[in-house]
Structure formats: C-alpha cells, structure tokens
C-alpha cells in the first residue's frame, strides 16, 4: 500500500508530530491574528463578531483544514503533483491538478504583499526600541506611520530583509529549516503573547476589553460583518493557499489528521484571542478607538506604548512577536512554489528559492508603490495593494478552499479519505457531512453575495 509509507527522504519529513503542529501553527498564526483580527473585530463591534468567527472556525475551518492536509499527506508531493496523483487514483480527470496550480499561485501572490506588511512590523522593532514613541503626542505618531509609508526605498529595504530571512530558513529544507525554526520561534511567540497579556492586565481596563470581546451585542453585527468573519476564518487558518497541503505532504502516515488539525485551529484561535486581550485593554486605557482600522497596530498601539510605564520595552517585545508570527507564515507561503520547482522542474532547493524569491520581490514592489508614488494607480477605486488583497483573500483563497473541499468530498473515494482520516468513525462521518454539504453551500453563498446575485 503506497500511501502507508512516505515516498519522501527523511530530511523532507517532519521528525515528530509536534514539529508538524508547530510548523502548521506557524503557518496559521500570522499577521491575520495579530494585525488583522483585532482591527476587524473592533470595526465590527466586538463580541457578536467574535462569536460568529469562532463558529466559522469550528464548523467550516477545521473540516477544510483537514481536507487540505489530507490531500497533501496522501499525495506526498507539491500541490500540483499531489492533486494530479489523487485525481488519477480516484479515476477523475487530470484538470484537478489546476487546483494545485491555483494554490501555488495564491501563496505566491499573497506573499508579495505579506512581506511588505511584515516589513512594517520589522521596521517598528528598532523604532520602538530606540524610544521614538516615548512621550510623543498622538498626532505626531500618526504622521510617523504615514511618513514611513511615503518612503519607497525604506519599505523595499524592510520587505527585502523579510524575504531574505524567509529564504534563509526555507532554503535549508524541511528538517534543518522549517522544522528547526518553528520549534524555536513558536514557543517564543506564545511566551511573548502571554507576557503582553499579563502586561495589559496592569492597565486597569482588562475587564472592558473582556466585555468588548466576549459580550455579544447582535445589534452591532451586520451581514457584511458575518461575511468578513467567515472570510477571515479561512484566511487565519491558511486554508486554500497550498500552504497546509505542502506541510501535510511532509507529515508521516499514522499521525491523526483530525487531532492535529483541531490543535492547530485551537492554537490559531488562542493566538487571535490573546492578541485581542493584549491590545484592547491598552486601547481602552488610553481612550483610543478599537475600530482603528489597519493602523490600529502601527498608530494606536505606539501612542499607548509611548505613554505607558515600560512602554518602550513591551512595545519592542510586541513588534518582535508580530515579526516572528509573520515570518513563520511567510515560510509556508513560499514553500509550495519551491517544492513545485524542485519536484516538477528538477531544480535544486537553492535555485528554486532564489528564483521564487526574486519573483515575489519584483511583485512586492507593486504593493510598496501603492502607498506612495503609485497611490493613484487604481482599479475600481482600489490601489494595487488593495486589489491584490481583495483578489487573494476575497476570491482565490475561498475558491481554492472550495475546490479542495469538493475534491475530497465528492471526487476522492470514501475509502481513501477514510483511510487517511483513520477509519470510518463517528468523527469521520461528521467530517464528511460538513465537507460535503455545509462547506460548499456556505462558500457558494458568499460568492453569490459577492457577485451581487443575492444580497444578505
Ligand atoms: N494564516 C496567515 C495569517 O493569519 O496571517 C495567513 C496565510 C498564510 C494565509 C498562509 C494563507 C496561507 F496559505
Ligand atoms: Na492566522
């Protein structure tokens, strides 16, 4: 039975189940948790939004995550080859390998703007550490962020640094690169998060934050808020971008996909909630706006750090943590392209890393310029960055996720999926119902709503 032993060399497999969990949690926990989740929750009224988000993670996110990991583990190759192999096994048409291609492309496009935002986080480490925000008035801190965005060369420098760090790790391969980095960085990230939550309790506004995040007020929740919660649930778990598929392909047979996927989802959710609990008490303590938008982290927080006791120290810790979170996700976004170049085009890992890194670097310039010299190159009122984010997060990730769900639910033989998921148990049957009916229905509804055919 070819699926029971891995066809990959040992250096290309996670050495333990924990390593896979940490690497996959590294892929999941990223800018989505610490930068995006708090501000979208803030903009959508808090509690009720958080509740919908949690339901989406549990009922849709977890089964989809399992589907994507399952394809990777059974396919044992890069997303394109894995899809081709499983389509053949199921007696389906080879067109399904385009789902793998879509995943590789999605990760590639997403990384091109992810490195730019990660670059802001990296730039804010020395800025905070040098006390640049200490005692500075709020308006001036807002100007500092805007000023930072106005300097294309500096932005390029920081995003290039993010990319070089990413390639430096991914270039070393699965065991020596991805696994080693995740084993070191992920525990560190959670320790820093807990320290920051502890610090936030000293502001005296922790209760306000708890109420804001966990007391649902359904008046504040709109239909578009529900859609945002749903889209964010996919984004935050890294579903549909080929990342979890390639990480799954390095997972040895015999490890429970259900248990590990649930754990990854729990860690990702914990990171988002802890980030909220670290950020909102500070925001409320200084009378700032929780719905501060994308600038919440880069303007609102520095304002607060500038006034708090030990703000320089904890502010620095915060931006280190944000950078670490972004970096471990960046690894997972480039790995599908690299594995594809190695396995399909026969390149060395070094060559594949340099080539895909160069492509991402070139494309990242579009995002960099959209904040300054290219601010008015717009399409339907959206800048290059906004268009790319909308295309990837709003369309490509959900479409990739939908196709992977349909493939495992309706194309693969039940025997094959049952074998990967450890047999025909009650849990397996629940997964199958969710992935066959609930997931496709809900994603179709989002698409119809987005095209304007139905309105919620
Ligand atoms: N899950 C990451 C985050 O929350 O920041 C973003 C992400 C990474 C999305 C990898 C998709 C992906 F394939
Ligand atoms: Na996430």
Mean pLDDT over 222-251 rounds to 93
Nearest CA to ligand 1 atom 10: 238
Spatial neighbors of 263 by CB under 8 A, at least 6 apart, are 21, 25
What is the structure's pLDDT at 456? 72
CA 328 to ligand 2 centroid distance, Å: 11
CA 201 to ligand 2 centroid distance, Å: 24
Mean pLDDT over 310-314 rounds to 95
Q: Which two tokens stand for residue 446?
A: 């989002």
Average pLDDT, the chain: 94
Residue 208 has pLDDT above 50, yes or no: yes
Beta bridge partners of 382: 379
Which of 241, 321, 399, 401 most suits a substitution to test ligand 1, by most atoms within 8 Å of the C-beta?
Answer: 241
CA-closest candidate to residue 136, choices 319, 311, 321, 294: 311
What is the structure's pLDDT at 430? 97
* pLDDT tens per residue, range 345-366: 999 999 999 999 999 999 999 9
Residue 255 has pLDDT above 90, yes or no: yes
CA 448 to ligand 2 centroid distance, Å: 25
Q: Which residue has the higher pLDDT, 224 or 4?
A: 224
Alpha-helix residue ranges (DSSP H) falling in 215-348: 223-236, 243-249, 257-285, 300-307, 311-345
What is the CB < 6 Å shell around ligand 1?
A: 27-28, 30-33, 107, 110, 235-236, 238, 241, 243, 329, 332-333
Q: pLDDT above 90 covers what percent of the chain?
A: 85
Residue 407 has pLDDT above 90, yes or no: yes
Q: Which residue has the higher pLDDT, 290 or 255?
A: 255
Point out the ligand 1 atom lying closest to the alpha carbon of residue 37.
4
Mean pLDDT over 110-132 rounds to 97
Q: Which two tokens stand for residue 424?
A: 């025909």
Mean pLDDT over 250-254 rounds to 93
What is the structure's pLDDT at 1? 40
Point out the ligand 1 atom lying closest to the alpha carbon of residue 332.
10
Spatial neighbors of 232 by CB under 8 A, at least 6 apart, are 32, 36, 37, 40, 53
* pLDDT tens per residue, range 182-193: 999 999 999 999
Which of 31, 32, 115 most suits a substitution to test ligand 1, by most atoms within 8 Å of the C-beta?
Answer: 32
284-293 own/partner pairs: CB under 8 Å, 24+ apart: 284/203, 284/205, 284/208, 284/209, 284/212, 285/203, 285/204, 285/205, 289/42, 290/38, 290/42, 290/46, 290/212, 291/39, 291/42, 291/43, 292/39, 292/42, 293/39, 293/43
Point out the ligand 1 atom lying closest to the alpha carbon of residue 241.
13
CA 30 to ligand 1 centroid distance, Å: 6
- Count of C-beta atoms within a 10 Å radius of residue 150: 13
CA 41 to ligand 1 centroid distance, Å: 18
- Domains in the chain, start-ordered, CATH in brackets? 2-44+64-210+235-414 (1.20.1740.10)
Residue 2 has pLDDT above 50, yes or no: no
What is the structure's pLDDT at 340? 97
CB 146 within 8 A of CB 177: no
- In this predicted structure, which of 218-227, 234-243, 371-380, 446-455 has the lowest mean pLDDT? 446-455
Which of 61, 110, 392 most suits a substitution to test ligand 1, by most atoms within 8 Å of the C-beta?
Answer: 110
CA 32 to ligand 1 centroid distance, Å: 7
Residue 75 has pLDDT above 80, yes or no: yes
Residue 235 has pLDDT above 90, yes or no: yes
Q: pLDDT above 70 covers what percent of the chain?
A: 99
Residue 154 has pLDDT above 90, yes or no: yes
């Amino acid at each position: 039975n070819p699926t029971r032993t891995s066809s990959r060399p040992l250096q290309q497999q996670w050495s333990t189940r924990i390593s896979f969990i940490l690497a996959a949690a590294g892929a999941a926990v990223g800018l989505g948790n610490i930068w995006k989740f708090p501000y979208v929750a803030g903009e959508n009224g808090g509690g009720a939004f958080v509740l919908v988000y949690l339901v989406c993670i549990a009922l849709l996110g977890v089964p989809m995550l399992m589907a994507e990991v399952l394809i990777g583990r059974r396919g044992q190759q890069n997303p394109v080859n894995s899809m081709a192999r499983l389509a053949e096994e199921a007696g389906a048409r080879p067109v399904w390998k385009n789902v793998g291609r879509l995943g590789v492309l999605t990760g590639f496009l997403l990384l091109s703007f992810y490195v730019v935002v990660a670059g802001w986080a990296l730039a804010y480490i020395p800025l905070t550490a040098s006390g640049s925000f200490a005692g500075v008035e709020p308006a001036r801190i807002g100007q500092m962020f805007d000023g930072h965005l106005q300097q294309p060369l500096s932005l390029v420098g920081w995003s290039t640094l993010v990319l070089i760090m990413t390639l430096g790790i991914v270039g070393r391969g699965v065991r020596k690169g991805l696994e080693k980095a995740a084993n070191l960085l992920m525990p560190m990230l959670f320790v820093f998060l807990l320290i920051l939550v502890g610090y936030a309790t000293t502001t005296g506004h922790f209760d306000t934050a708890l109420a804001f995040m966990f007391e649902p007020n359904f008046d504040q929740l709109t239909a578009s808020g529900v859609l945002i919660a749903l889209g964010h649930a996919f984004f935050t778990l890294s579903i549909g971008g080929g990342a979890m598929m390639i990480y799954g392909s390095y997972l040895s047979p015999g490890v429970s996909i259900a248990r590990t996927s649930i754990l990854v989802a729990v860690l990702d959710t914990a990171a988002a909630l802890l980030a909220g609990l670290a950020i909102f008490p500070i925001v409320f303590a200084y009378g700032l706006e929780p719905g501060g938008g994308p600038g919440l982290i880069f303007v609102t927080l520095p304002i607060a750090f500038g006034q708090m006791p030990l703000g320089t120290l904890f502010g620095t810790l915060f931006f280190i943590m944000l950078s670490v979170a972004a970096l471990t996700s960046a690894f997972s976004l480039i790995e599908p392209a690299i594995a594809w170049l190695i396995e399909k085009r026969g390149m060395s890992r070094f060559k594949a890393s340099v080539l895909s890194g160069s492509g991402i670097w070139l494309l990242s310039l579009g995002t960099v310029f959209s904040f300054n010299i290219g601010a008015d190159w717009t399409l339907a009122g959206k800048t290059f960055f906004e268009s790319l984010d909308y295309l990837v997060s709003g369309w490509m990730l959900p479409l990739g996720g939908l196709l992977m769900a349909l493939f495992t639910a309706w194309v693969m033989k039940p025997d094959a999926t049952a074998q990967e998921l450890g047999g025909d148990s009650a849990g397996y049957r629940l997964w199958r119902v969710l992935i066959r009916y609930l997931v496709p229905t809900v994603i179709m509804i989002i698409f119809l709503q987005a095209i304007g055919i139905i309105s919620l």
